[in-house]
Amino acid sequence: MSIKDGEIASSDEVMNAMGSIFNDAAQNLFNADYIGFDSRLYNSGVPNLKNVKYSTFTSDDADVNGFMYDSTDDLYSTAPIIAASVAYIDIYATDVNVSTLTDSANGTYCFQLDTGVWRIVSSGASTAEAISRIFYQLFFDLADAATDPNGVTTLTDLRCSESDYRGQLATFTRLYMYTDSSGSQEGAITLGLSGASTYKIINDWCTTSISYGPNINATSRLEAPTSTVLHTVTINNSSSSGWDDTESSTIHSVASTTSGKMHHYASSGQALDDWYTDKKAIWVIPDSVTPTYTVSGTYTTSAVSDDIAISSTAPDTTSYPLADSTLIFKDTVTNTDHAIPVINSTIDAASSEQISVSADGGSNWTDVDNAEIARPIAGTALWRRIVITRTDLSVEDTVTEQAVKYNFY
């Protein structure tokens, strides 16, 4: 209701009127922050603001960032997931390097859902392609004996949207050899299992090349099971060949077998013969069947990561629905029981936005309209939360600035 002459206005009506004033003042504050303060402010060049926190996102300063941060335009945007098939893995860990796991060219995005929780999501022409892209970002090129996925510090849990990959162990293997000597060279990484099973090979890749060698022949193979060839290349003299199933829809599913192998062989006739091969693959084995990887023969270097577990538990879609993107800004302030947030955003008609305020560090949240008074449970940790919910995952919503004024009285 409106404030009328001769009537006693409610405190919220008065505070919402002040919220309208603060909304306008915040726009000037944002603009001045972008162009630079050119007056003598508090004798320090910064504004002498009373009980105001604000940000124009000139850096990624959200404490929880479930959006994509754009450092060029200083804003946060929802990840555009445009294909029909969407797969994702939720990562529970101490820390995640988001940029390591994001490849927008291939439609793979990583963002934070909550403290200690991140999501890597991909869309592809098929679910297999989306899964392949995610596994590539997480596991490809891991170091020997690595215990954490790429970009992840102290992994606690991985939860996959696709049930076929729950309760599995993911292992990256690499076999590399270089030689410039005569004779025969043969090396392999052989998979052994404690029992019959169905396992998968994802993102397998190989390059084999002879730089010099008029009397050399070389062969590289991927076998699953052993002696059943999935890929093979044979070259001679000065030539090169290989295969590339990375980030594609090609996922090899191998049933009822107890072995698999990455194998290379070369025979050269003189000491100057120059040959190399490099093979990589991600193996996904049910955690009920203990895998072993044995490196044998002649090789220059090899890598076998640790068996990295994918939980049998499905993602928590109640706490972290796929359609939601969340930003949280956290500040410690003096005791407060009221605040007015101002959020600048551009929201598609197919999306909705909810702004919430917590004064007790996220234990309790109060939903509020933009630039209107929130009266949360009093505390000393003033947090602002913006949640955008999309019904169309292809649309892009943006949040460009945020501010909050608290303790008016």
pLDDT score for 1: 47
Express each pLDDT in 115-152 by its tens digit: 999 999 998 888 999 999 999 999 999 999 999 999 99
Cis bond leading into 149, ω under 30°?
Answer: no
The CATH number of the domain covering residues in 80-165: 3.30.70
Between residues 125 and 61, which one has the greater pLDDT? 61
Domain boundaries, the chain: 11-63+323-406, 80-165, 174-300
Q: What is the mean pLDDT of residues 282-293?
A: 95
At residue 408, what are phi and psi to the nearest 5 degrees?
Answer: -65, -30
Residue 385 is predicted with a pLDDT of 97
**Which of 54-58, 102-106, 290-294, 332-336 shows the lowest per-residue confidence on average (mean pLDDT)?**
102-106
Query: Counting Cβ atoms within 10 Å, is residue 256 exposed (0-12), middle (13-18) or buried (19+)?
Result: exposed
Render pLDDT for 201-221 as a digit per residue (tens, 0 to 9): 999 999 998 877 667 888 999
pLDDT tens by residue, 344-399 = 999 999 999 999 999 999 999 999 999 999 999 999 999 999 999 999 888 899 99
Burial of 267 (0-12, 13-18, 19+ CB in 10 A): middle
* pLDDT of 154 strictly over 60: yes
Question: Of 337, 364, 332, 367, whose CA–CA distance to 352 is shortest?
Answer: 367
Quick one: average pLDDT of 242-257?
92
pLDDT at 213: 63
pLDDT at 195: 87
- Over residues 312-352, the pLDDT tens digits come to 999 999 999 988 999 999 999 999 999 999 999 999 999 99
Mean pLDDT of the region 50-54: 95
Average pLDDT, the chain: 91
The Cα–Cα gap between 43 and 41 comes to 5
- Same CATH topology for 80-165 and 174-300: the answer is no
Which region, left, alpha or beta, applies to residue 42 given φ > 0 means left and ψ of -120 to 50 means alpha? left
> Which of 343, 330, 345 has the alpha carbon at shortest distance from 370?
343
Instruction: Assess whether pLDDT exceeds 90 at residue 98.
Output: yes
pTM of the model: 0.86
Taking alpha carbons only, the member of 273, 323, 279 closest to residue 141 is: 279
**CATH code for the part of the protein at 11-63+323-406:** 2.60.120
Q: Is the pLDDT of residue 84 over 70?
A: no
Is there a contact between 117 and 91 (Cβ–Cβ < 8 Å)? yes
pLDDT at 9 over 70: no
Angle, vertex CA 152, rays to CA 149 and CA 153, nearest 5: 120
Angle CA 230–235–239, to nearest 5: 125
Percent of the chain with pLDDT over 90: 70
pLDDT at 62 over 70: yes
Topology of domain 174-300, CATH:
Jelly Rolls (2.60.120)
